[in-house]
């Protein structure tokens, strides 16, 4: 399957093929700040599954730890994708799950930093929950 992640103004897009290697919500403070929401939705794809990239992206580097490079639209500011030195070994890139609005992803199945999840946020019981030290 081919999916396209697009920013809000649709000036930037990234085309990927296949299914994500990881499809998760994350409740860490970095993801909450990145999205301005209660959690971030992250889908990781192998770098070789990235087939096309269009538009003008800027980069923001989170000094860490861990060091994270976030690419966002130079026009509207939407964070579309990132690489994290601790979490994306083996040549994978993370994408904001909501950026696949026209070609939706399947339901996430993992809740990362679940111990930091907002108390009012209920998730399916079938999801895996992890809380790194």
Q: What is the pLDDT of residues 41-85, one digit of tens each?
A: 999 999 999 999 999 999 999 997 788 999 999 999 999 999 988
pTM: 0.93
Confidence at residue 103, expressed as pLDDT on a 0 to 100 scale: 92
What are the structure tokens assigned to 12, written together? 């930037």
Number of neighbours of residue 104 by Cβ within 10 angstroms: 10
Residues 133, 86, 72, 56, Cα dihedral to 10°: 180
Q: Which of 41, 1, 43 is nearest to 22 (CA)?
A: 43
The answer to whether the CB of 18 falls within 8 A of the CB of 35 is: no
Confidence at residue 90, expressed as pLDDT on a 0 to 100 scale: 73
Of 31-35, 40-44, 66-70, 103-107, least confident by mean pLDDT is 66-70
Confidence at residue 108, expressed as pLDDT on a 0 to 100 scale: 97
Tell me the CA distances in angstroms from 8 to 73, 80, 123, 125, one per residue in order.
9, 10, 26, 32
Place of tokens 């690419």: 71
Strands 110-112 and 92-96: unpaired
Confidence at residue 88, expressed as pLDDT on a 0 to 100 scale: 62
């Amino acid at each position: 399957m081919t999916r396209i992640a697009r920013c809000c103004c649709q000036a930037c897009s990234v085309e990927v093929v296949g299914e994500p290697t990881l499809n998760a919500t994350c409740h860490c403070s970095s993801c909450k700040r990145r999205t301005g929401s209660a959690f971030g939705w992250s889908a990781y794809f192998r770098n070789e599954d990235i087939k096309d990239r269009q538009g003008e992206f800027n980069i923001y580097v989170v000094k860490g730890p861990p060091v994270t490079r976030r690419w966002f639209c130079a026009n509207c500011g939407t964070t579309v994708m990132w690489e994290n030195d601790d979490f994306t070994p083996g040549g994978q890139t993370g994408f904001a799950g909501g950026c696949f609005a026209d070609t939706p992803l399947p339901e996430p199945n993992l809740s990362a930093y679940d111990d930091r999840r907002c108390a009012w946020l209920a998730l399916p019981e079938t999801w895996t929950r992890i809380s790194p030290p």
